[in-house]
Structure 1
Amino acid sequence: MKKYNLVIVGGGSTFTPGFLKSFCHMKEQFPLGKLVLFDIDAERQSVIGEFGKILFKELYPEAVFHYTTDIAEAYQDMDFVFMQMRVGGYKMRELDEKIPLQHGIIGQETCGPGGFAYGLRSTKEMIKAIYDIRQYSPNAWILNYSNPAAIVAEALRREFPNDKKILNICDQPENVVRSCSRLLGCHFKELDPVYFGLNHYGWFTHIYNKKTGEDLLPKLRALIAERGFLPQDAEQRDKSWLETYGMVKQLMEDFPDYLPNTYNQYYLYPDYKAKHLDPNFTRANEVMASREKRVFEECKVIINAGTTKGYINIHEDAHAEFMIEVAMSIAYNKNDRFIIIVENYGAINNLPDDGMVEVVAELGSNGPKPMRVGNIPTFYKGLLENQLASEKLAIDAYYEGSYQKALESLTINRTVNDAKKARIILDALIEANKDYWPELK
């Protein structure tokens, strides 16, 4: 069986240890010849990297493992590139969240002004990274799950229109499906979803039982009304995530047709969410105080011990298993089904062809084959067209250096919907991002 070379861009992420464990666990299914971690933050990555050396020495000695800050060393002769960049780190994420909240607008990593700010930062660095990758590995599959995926996907569509080996994907729809399986008392692989939307803004129209063909959405609707909704790994989640999933019950009471992506709450209840977010302690602070601290401490314990035996507490994240299965479906031409971000071209019949939409697709060695969902109802079409316009205007602003387009992008976004607030927040974000954004005139 062929062994694959793979690099994780953003090797210093706290999600990386979970990936490393998953690669070890799945080595018979997806064997690696070489796994490289790459990050521009050498100090941060060194902790994760040293943990990885010990892990691979003990559990995966047949694979070459190392970490680097050198582009050529990272990208040379790769089959797959996993992109998990966080441009500006948690310091900038904190500003993304807190600046809008100072003006009564949602502060969130991927939605609203925070997502806009993060998107412009990510666009510049993502484009550079792909040009670098193509210099050293012209045929590698680039699997991007960096946030905000919708804005980044629109930028990459424009910059690399002929590169068919760039795949933008998000694990949140998969997490919702797995959470449904918890509620139904079955394995998530028994479920066959039908989904439409944009990244972090979509709905499940059906969730079928693969064996019987039964649509389980009516049963899920009743169970959620009775018991609420929890993430499939609720015991490992922070408080804010439990609250996020908990809002699914409210969403389905108000809009019972379909099962929503959890992020829909930010677009459908923007005033409510803004009032219930703490402007002094946001999700970024929560992550830094919990996951960030916990993962690095666990890695250091293993480094000091020189072994994982009896010490390893880091769990395998569902999204790591998910991304490896995506790579496997491509590598072995399995044509498994995943919810993927693709250029529309009729997948959602009554949305623009050039929109980057999120739908179920079969995925093999020739890329995704989207499953068409036909026309969507007027309510959902209106919501998505509004957000699609906001995302396209954001990338217009990036390419044109246009303050006006940036203002329009924020004004039209459902989390803002106020031009005066949009201007105030935009000016503050420009100041905060002056080292990252192109100049907007």
Structure 2
Amino acid sequence: MKLAVVGGGSTYTPELIDGFARLRDTLPIEELVLVDPAADRLDLVGGLARRIFAKQDHAGRITTTTDIDAGVADADAVLLQLRVGGQAARNKDETWPLECGCVGQETTGAGGLAKALRTVPVVLDIAERVRRANPDAWIIDFTNPVGIVTRALLQAGHKAVGLCNVAIGFQRKFARLLDVNPSEVHLDHVGLNHLTWELGVRLGGPDGENVLPKLLAEHGDAVADDLRMPRQVIDRLGVVPSYYLRYFYSHDEVVRELGTKPSRAAEVAAMEKELLAMYGDPTLDEKPELLAKRGGAFYSEAAVDLAASLLGNGGSPVQVVNTYNNGTLPFLPDDAVIEVQARVGHDGATPLAVPALDPLYAGLIANVTAYEDLALEAALRGGRDRVFKALLAHPLIGQYEYAEGLTDRLIAHNREHLAWA
């Protein structure tokens, strides 16, 4: 089995490598190719990756290349984890929206749109190269904004499934609070990428006992603190929102907070510099503790599970993924991409049935889906008017004056990445 990781020079990658090494019985990789245009980072990350495999007695071969076509040739699956423009572009995404009084964040709002516009054309080009190399290869997308990118891939006819680590993060946290094995925890996870709610926490499987009321009664403070939301909000909802819902439920508070400290991108850039220095140490043969602060916790376990299921090598039969709606949420079009529990196998992902949603959640999902429609149109076809309409439609913006100012800033800060600008 051959896997390729596009964006393999990311500081995330040792987390993925560690998972591949530990879970080799689930996903028996014979060849792993790390692909990245940054040769210097590839050398550092590739060296550590080989040492991790060697320490854990993994027999798989790890190679690196800056050539996408060579890297994806004959691959059975390709993982996408790229960041067009790097942390410098992310830093802009997190700062210029604040000038208009809007949240600056890399996956939602105006910053998320900027990232989508930069990313979708690049991902589609890579996907075409994968298809030419092996039409049967699966593409697993971890590249944000996952919902929009996955929809672009699916609409272009690619064999693709989107992946996020939010659900597995909640699963592990809830298992710890309940003092059970994570495999026993099944989430009623519903929504869009980075716009989800845990409507239930079931023990033993999709039809198991819902222990969410007990979880909130006994551990509500811990859950609320982790989400950085007031306990009374969680209690009134009776569900657990993704921490990304804080941008919606506490927008003005978050804007004030972001204006008083360095951007997350600046923090990550400093962290990456330190991590890359560590990766260059020839004695380091495991992922460093600092990597846990970088983000992407449990990404490797989720990626291994998904790849194993898609490639017919086992894996969990039910997983949280991003895939076509196909009637699952009846108020959305079939070709919307949703993030829910799905049955996953070599034919792809089929969402499980979802109970009727409270209008509180369905309304926001429908609104953001409409924005994603417009965002994808802007990413595929370009044009200032399309950018403006997408921004105006986003519930974190929604005002003509804001949308005008944000449109000008988005184009100005991303001109080098926009072929039409």
TM (normalized to structure 1)? Answer: 0.88
Deviations 1:383-406 (A, max 9, x none): 111111111111112233232221
- Secondary structure of the residue aligned to 2:167 is helix
User: Who is 2:262 aligned against?
Assistant: 281
- Secondary structure of the residue aligned to 1:170 is coil
Shift of 1:133: 1.1
- The 8 Å contact of residues 221 and 231 in structure 2, kept in 1 or not, is answered as no
Indicate how the Cα distance of structure 1 residues 84 and 329 shifts in structure 2: closer, same or farther if over 3 A, else same.
Answer: same
- Secondary structure of the residue aligned to 2:180 is coil
- Secondary structure of the residue aligned to 1:127 is helix
Indicate how the Cα distance of structure 1 residues 279 and 390 shifts in structure 2: closer, same or farther if over 3 A, else same.
Answer: farther
Whole-Å separation in 2 of the counterparts to 1:358 and 1:191: 17
Whole-Å separation in 2 of the counterparts to 1:102 and 1:216: 43
User: Who is 1:225 aligned against?
Assistant: 220
In structure 2, the gaps of 5 or more residues are none
User: Who is 2:5 aligned against?
Assistant: 8
Which one of the candidate residues 66, 87, 91 is aligned to 2:88? 91
Shift of 1:146: 0.6
Shift of 1:437: 1.8
Which one of the candidate residues 280, 297, 304 is aligned to 1:324? 304
Indicate how the Cα distance of structure 1 residues 227 and 397 shifts in structure 2: closer, same or farther if over 3 A, else same.
Answer: closer
Shift of 1:73: 2.1
Deviations 1:124-168 (A, max 9, x none): 1100000111121221111111111122123223322xx3x2111
User: Who is 1:364 aligned against?
Assistant: 345
Q: How does 1:6-405 map to 2 (within 5 A)?
A: 6-60=3-57, 62-160=59-157, 163=158, 165-210=159-204, 213-229=208-224, 245-247=227-229, 249=231, 251-253=233-235, 255-278=236-259, 281-290=262-271, 292-301=272-281, 303=282, 305=283, 308=285, 317-331=297-311, 332=313, 334=315, 336-405=317-386
Percent of aligned pairs with the same amino acid: 30
Q: How does 1:412-427 map to 2 (within 5 A)?
A: 412-427=393-408
User: Who is 1:431 aligned against?
Assistant: 412
Shift of 1:200: 0.5
Shift of 1:312: 6.2
Indicate how the Cα distance of structure 1 residues 280 and 437 shifts in structure 2: closer, same or farther if over 3 A, else same.
Answer: farther
Whole-Å separation in 1 of the counterparts to 2:116 and 2:418: 10
- Secondary structure of the residue aligned to 1:32 is coil
Whole-Å separation in 2 of the counterparts to 1:104 and 1:312: 38
- The 8 Å contact of residues 164 and 193 in structure 2, kept in 1 or not, is answered as yes
Whole-Å separation in 2 of the counterparts to 1:105 and 1:313: 34
Whole-Å separation in 1 of the counterparts to 2:19 and 2:208: 31
Deviations 1:211-265 (A, max 9, x none): 79221110122134344446xxxxxxxxxxx5xx232746414x42322111111
Whole-Å separation in 2 of the counterparts to 1:386 and 1:337: 28
Whole-Å separation in 2 of the counterparts to 1:249 and 1:226: 6
Indicate how the Cα distance of structure 1 residues 327 and 421 shifts in structure 2: closer, same or farther if over 3 A, else same.
Answer: same
Whole-Å separation in 2 of the counterparts to 1:121 and 1:219: 44
- The 8 Å contact of residues 331 and 366 in structure 2, kept in 1 or not, is answered as no
Whole-Å separation in 2 of the counterparts to 1:250 and 1:114: 30
Q: What code does the residue aligned with 1:130 have?
A: A
- The 8 Å contact of residues 349 and 373 in structure 1, kept in 2 or not, is answered as no
- Secondary structure of the residue aligned to 1:207 is strand
Q: What code does the residue aligned with 1:439 have?
A: W
Indicate how the Cα distance of structure 1 residues 251 and 45 shifts in structure 2: closer, same or farther if over 3 A, else same.
Answer: farther
Whole-Å separation in 2 of the counterparts to 1:229 and 1:324: 30
- Secondary structure of the residue aligned to 2:418 is coil
Q: What code does the residue aligned with 1:174 have?
A: I
Question: Which moves more between the two structures, 407-416 or 207-216?
Answer: 207-216
- Secondary structure of the residue aligned to 1:339 is strand
Whole-Å separation in 1 of the counterparts to 2:290 and 2:77: 24
- The 8 Å contact of residues 351 and 381 in structure 1, kept in 2 or not, is answered as no
- The 8 Å contact of residues 204 and 258 in structure 1, kept in 2 or not, is answered as yes
Deviations 1:80-112 (A, max 9, x none): 111101111000000000000122210011010
Shift of 1:313: 5.4
Whole-Å separation in 1 of the counterparts to 2:270 and 2:229: 24
Shift of 1:341: 1.1
- Secondary structure of the residue aligned to 2:415 is coil
Whole-Å separation in 1 of the counterparts to 2:41 and 2:221: 44
Whole-Å separation in 2 of the counterparts to 1:30 and 1:399: 35
What is the number of equivalent residue pairs in this alignment? Answer: 415
User: Who is 1:234 aligned against?
Assistant: none
User: Who is 1:236 aligned against?
Assistant: none
- The 8 Å contact of residues 360 and 370 in structure 1, kept in 2 or not, is answered as yes
CA RMSD of superposed structures (Å): 2.2
- The 8 Å contact of residues 79 and 141 in structure 1, kept in 2 or not, is answered as yes
Deviations 1:39-84 (A, max 9, x none): 0111222211122233334434621111110123201111111110
Whole-Å separation in 2 of the counterparts to 1:31 and 1:109: 34
Question: Which moves more between the two structures, 106-115 or 136-145?
Answer: 136-145
Whole-Å separation in 2 of the counterparts to 1:330 and 1:432: 38
- Secondary structure of the residue aligned to 1:276 is helix
